[in-house]
Structure 1
Amino acid sequence: MDNNTAAVSTNPIYVGYVLKRYPRFSETFVVNEILAHEREGAKIDIFALGPVEETHFQDGISQVRAPVTRLDFKRYNAETAWNWIRAGFEQLPGFAQKLAQAKCTVCELTQSIAIALEIRARGIQHLHAHFGTQATTVARQAAIFADITYTFTAHAKDIYFQYEESTALDQKMRDAFTTVTVSDYNLAYLKEQYGQDAEKAVRIYNGMDLRKFPYNEFGSRERHILAVGRLVAKKGFEVLLDALALLKKQNVNVRCTLVGGGPLAEPLSSQIAALDIADMITMVGPMPQPDIIEMMKSANMVVAPCVVSEDGDRDGLPTVLLESMALGTPVVSTQVAGIPELVVDGETGLCVPERDAQALADAMLRLLDDHEYCQTLSRNGRALIEREYDEDRNAGKLRRLFDVAVKSHTAG
């Protein structure tokens, strides 16, 4: 039996992933999810709406087989947009009526038409988008034009950030076959805020490829605190610096490494100088994921001092916490969004109030000084990851949603 016959006999689902940008260093969960689908034979195509803007990526990117179609129409002129609209009239059934009801920018409209035409040409059965903003705007309209179903995953900023203009999240949830979100906290918030519009929403945690993150029993570790993330307000790294300053006043012997880049690099550097803690912390910028993993394995702990920023943005469930716990490194984080579902205080990690530098310092000091407690948190953390955050299991839940969506649409 050749490969083509095998593919037909197993009838794999064919899904288009719509993403604002691909790849992105901070969106490890997207790569994990696509790889898990591909391991089970699903056929995936990726549609990226904007150009790549980063220089560091997850090593898993090289393992993704899905082809990437890039649709950066912002650099195109009106004539190009009209050519796509004309193609829509020629090739997409019912296009005129659907076009009249479309609510999006010219760029998003053009991208939607281009994807709809590819859907029909390739035989894509379903679309899935990550984040309920631009990617879902385009996925929704493309699905309407092509007459297929769509779903999307809502994470954090797309739920909580106070955008100047409405992102029509209510309409997107109504029209989607299902809305997926990544924590029970998010799910409760969506149902409280949007009522019936969110009644089809479900929670599926982001997952980990546990083969890539083998458990490392907590043994002898350096007095080393590791923090990883984009240097943006919601990560709360300024609180970490304040906490380190408190530890310095107590003459605590510890070093900290802050991995990541972003707009707050300069303000954080200035804060380090003002607090006189340059001897305790090193900012190293972005690093390849394999190097970060090696640092996690030897660190005493990983700290994610997340906060709710002034504009309402917050972390849903930071991937760095999943990775650290999977590897067996204890974590300290904050009571923000869905984090307490993962970092159960005193059981799978330490979870302190946000913006409380003293509480953060106390938590870090406890893990520096209590080796046996670190071992307990290490074992419990890994057990929770295996139970709730296995990527293959959680991606399977997502594929079942895709399957039901396609079958119900076909039957209808």
Structure 2
Amino acid sequence: MKIAFFVNAFPMMSEAFIANSAAALIDQGHSVDIYGIGNVCPTGLSVKALEGHGLNERTVNMRWPNSPMVRFAGLPGALGTIVRKNGFGSLTRLRPDIYRRSMSDLTAVYQASAFEGNGEYDILHCQFATLAESVIKHRKAGFLKGDIVVNFRGYDITETVEAVGPHVFDHVWPEATSYIANCDYFRRRAIALGCPEDRITVIGSGIRLENFAFSPPSETANPSLKFLMVGRLIERKGFHIALKAIAIFAKQASVPVTVDIVGDGPMRPDLACLASDLGIGEAVNFHGARDHSEIADLIRQTDIFLAPSMTSAIGGQDAPVNTLKEAMAIGRPVIGTRHGGIPELVIDGETGALANEGDVDSLCEAINRLSANRTNWSALTHRARTKVEAMYALDTCTDQLVHHYEKSLSLAAARPIQQLETVLKG
């Protein structure tokens, strides 16, 4: 199959699942092109092992000036590129009735100038639902051809809906052939918004298990505990809740602690100040953004991995966190929260421990419970590894994705016949 991925930008350090999926499809013999259509600067490839797949050569990151005046000044060049690629007649496709707002601000022209050839694909995969509007418009205008598959992953089905309203994707439901959610929680949210229930499938973001070899935790009690958290330093990740819980635990249990935090974001100064105020400033290490191999090394060095996600003030929620999967794959005890899609992966007492989201006392209790049962860690982590293998092995997820694409193509092929039958019956 010939497949186009649509993302905000590629590669992004926090979106290794996009690179993994593209490389896995290529390994299976499919063609994948990647279009970054969000006018965003890429932050880099976090999976260094994928550099040999030539993903950068398959990627076009669309950029245009932020200034309206500079954007207008560059318009002749963008139009010239469209003509060179598609002929003079293609300019008639830039219709205001199709593009509306994106025509008035010229973003449609800059995007259209980036598509190669006739933009013909089997599958047009919008990796985030917020990108579907642009893809739909370009397909209507004839700059793209193919069946549209729309993914719901996180901010698109949570923060965007909270900000715009429950009808934000009403224009997408009639246009896309099928839909994917990366957890059942988001699938149910999409259906509640109007997504056709018979056309949405749950396919998780797969991980390369060979990069996260299982290493059972030590059963020997250490005089101290090392904790690790990985993610963007934003409210939704709940790291501020975790620092408070760890500080209480350390004081009550008289256990020395070390906390490693991997990731960057706007809350870093606040988190550093909080750690200092809690009296654990010297025990908290901020590592900034790290690639997957470095994160795997830090996971192996930790005792307990924390994923304390919580619903943010703007409605943001998480699916099963990818680094949580990686920690479970390597064999480290994990603590998650009853939040979003996390309970689909972390089963309390079976594959990890759960706490109530945004609840310091509940998280502290989960830390106490897990740390007091170290003799159970071996069995716990073996069950966790088995669950990750069953749900998130990259080959399994890729096979599911290919099957979904094939089903989408069959649905699209059957649609004209169904429409004809409806007309004849009428």
Give the TM-score taking structure 2 as reference length: 0.85
Change (3 A) 1:285 1:168: same
Deviates more, 1:328-337 or 1:203-212: 203-212
Residue from 220, 236, 239 that aligns with 2:238: 236
Match of 1:360 in 2: 363
Change (3 A) 1:271 1:363: same
**Match of 1:404, as an amino acid?**
K
Unaligned runs of 5+ in 1: 1-12
Match of 1:125 in 2: 122
Match of 1:202 in 2: 201
Shift of residue 89, structure 1, vs aligned partner:
7.9
Matches within 5 A, 1:71-90: 71-74=62-65, 77-78=71-72, 79-80=75-76, 81-83=78-80, 90=88
Match of 1:216 in 2: 215
| Rounded Cα–Cα distance in structure 1 between residues aligned with 2:157 and 2:319 | 9
Shift of residue 209, structure 1, vs aligned partner:
1.4
Contact 1:126–1:148 at 8 Å: present in 2 too?
A: yes
Match of 2:136 in 1: 140
Contact 1:127–1:143 at 8 Å: present in 2 too?
A: no
Shift of residue 182, structure 1, vs aligned partner:
0.7
1:288-338 Cα distance to aligned partner (Å, 9 max, x none): 221110111231111011000011011122111111111111110101111
Change (3 A) 1:168 1:110: farther
Match of 2:422 in 1: none
| Rounded Cα–Cα distance in structure 2 between residues aligned with 1:324 and 1:219 | 15
SS at match of 2:43: coil
In the alignment, is residue 65 of structure 1 matched against residue 59 of structure 2? no
Change (3 A) 1:37 1:408: same
Change (3 A) 1:340 1:16: same
Contact 1:307–1:314 at 8 Å: present in 2 too?
A: yes
Change (3 A) 1:34 1:56: closer
| Rounded Cα–Cα distance in structure 1 between residues aligned with 2:362 and 2:241 | 10
SS at match of 1:283: strand
| Rounded Cα–Cα distance in structure 2 between residues aligned with 1:395 and 1:300 | 31
| Rounded Cα–Cα distance in structure 1 between residues aligned with 2:47 and 2:82 | 36
| Rounded Cα–Cα distance in structure 2 between residues aligned with 1:364 and 1:95 | 59
| Rounded Cα–Cα distance in structure 1 between residues aligned with 2:379 and 2:361 | 23
Contact 2:99–2:137 at 8 Å: present in 1 too?
A: yes
Shift of residue 111, structure 1, vs aligned partner:
4.7
Residue from 40, 43, 60 that aligns with 1:54: 43
SS at match of 1:321: helix
Deviates more, 1:167-176 or 1:320-329: 167-176
Shift of residue 93, structure 1, vs aligned partner:
11
Change (3 A) 1:342 1:396: same
**Match of 2:234, as an amino acid?**
V
Which runs of 4 or more aligned residues in structure 1 lie more than 4 Å from their structure 2 counterparts after TM superposition?
81-89, 91-94, 162-167, 407-412
Match of 1:249 in 2: 251
Change (3 A) 1:225 1:92: same
Contact 2:219–2:375 at 8 Å: present in 1 too?
A: no
Shift of residue 406, structure 1, vs aligned partner:
3.7
Match of 1:157 in 2: 155
In the alignment, is residue 382 of structure 1 matched against residue 373 of structure 2? no
SS at match of 1:148: strand
SS at match of 2:171: helix
Give the TM-score taking structure 1 as reference length: 0.87
Match of 2:33 in 1: 45
Shift of residue 173, structure 1, vs aligned partner:
3.3
Contact 2:121–2:145 at 8 Å: present in 1 too?
A: no
Contact 1:46–1:69 at 8 Å: present in 2 too?
A: yes
| Rounded Cα–Cα distance in structure 1 between residues aligned with 2:44 and 2:178 | 34
| Rounded Cα–Cα distance in structure 2 between residues aligned with 1:109 and 1:270 | 44
Unaligned runs of 5+ in 2: 417-426
**Match of 1:189, as an amino acid?**
R
Change (3 A) 1:187 1:17: same
In the alignment, is residue 311 of structure 1 matched against residue 308 of structure 2? no
Shift of residue 57, structure 1, vs aligned partner:
2.6
Match of 1:175 in 2: 175
| Rounded Cα–Cα distance in structure 1 between residues aligned with 2:343 and 2:312 | 18
SS at match of 2:305: strand
Contact 1:73–1:110 at 8 Å: present in 2 too?
A: no
